[in-house]
Amino acid sequence: MRLLQFSTSHYCRKVRLALGYKGISYEVENLTPGAHRFKLNPLVGLTTVPVLLPQSPEAPVAVGDSTEILRFLEVYYPEPSWAFGEPQGDRRAWLLEDWLDESIGTATRFLYYDFRAKEGQSVNPSWFAQTLVKVVRFQYDMSPARVDLARQRLDFALRELGEVWQGSPYLVGDRLSVADITAAGLLSPLALIPQYRQDYPWLFERIGQIHRHCQEPLPPGLTL
């Protein structure tokens, strides 16, 4: 199995957590931003990473989009399962997965790149890294007003997630699910932003626990 990724992408981290949870061995191929679309588009008709190449005769050649990859893994690699075996738990977990994926992952990206362009320049001050930050901010139209909206959305999300995660290790029911895996992957870039570290210590505790459960190295900013 091969994972086409950007090493720094939080959507790719989400899929690596899922692969780790399932105990699947795989190799990664780090694509070059810009050139990536020429490789991905013919494979899946999308231009975003992650894309999984299962390299198995029974499976599709390529699966694009992190949500589809998680669904694929549960069908083709059912054990260990993250399903609840009852529709209510599964529905709730996938609903949270979709919200986190479509809304909160994007908001996190806005806050992260805003930080990298300002106080966080020291994370990687190289010309290449700073150019990449500028390109991403332009690509996603990260105007101050849109960054503010993303911040509000994220604050709301963290209040909601905190209601559950501060009292239980799991967002749904009594086991790790696609909701926890998705939240841990997509919120992990916040570990580099001091304000979030200070305001939401419980978040980084959970992110660390889920990474350990899935045997994925901790994200930048978190240490053992």
Binding site for ligand GSH (CB under 6 A): 6, 9, 11, 37, 47-50, 65-67, 101
| Cα 30 to Cα 160: distance, rounded to the nearest angstrom | 34
- Give the shortest CB-181-to-ligand GSH separation in angstroms: 12
Q: Which is nearer to ligand GSH, 33 or 169 (CB)?
A: 33
Q: At what angle do helices 105-117 and 127-139 cross, to 10 degrees?
A: 140
Q: Which of 16, 11, 22, 68 is nearest to 44 (CA)?
A: 68
Closest approach of ligand GSH to the CB of residue 46, in Å: 8
Minimum distance from CB of 131 to ligand GSH (Å)?
15
Identity of the residue, 48 or 209, whose beta carbon is nearer to ligand GSH in the bound complex: 48
Q: What is the CA radius of gyration of the chain?
A: 17
DSSP string covering 135-178, please?
HHHHHTT--HHHHHHHHHHHHHHHHHHHHHHTT-S-SSTTS--H
In whole angstroms, how close is the CB of 54 to ligand GSH at the nearest point? 16
Q: Using DSSP, state whether 30 is helix, strand or coil.
A: strand
CB closer to ligand GSH, 124 vs 205: 124
Q: How near is the Cβ of 174 to ligand GSH at its closest, in Å?
A: 26
In the complex, least distance from residue 138 CB atom to ligand GSH, rounded to whole angstroms: 12
- Strands 63-64, 27-30: pairing kind: unpaired
Q: How far apart are CA 72 and CA 60, in angstroms?
A: 9
> Would you say 50 or 208 has its CB closer to ligand GSH?
50
In the bound state with ligand GSH, the residue whose beta carbon lies nearer, of 6 and 72, is 6
| 46 versus 83: smaller Cβ distance to ligand GSH | 46
What is the CA 149 to chain-centroid distance, rounded? 20
Separation of alpha carbons 86 and 205, rounded Å: 29
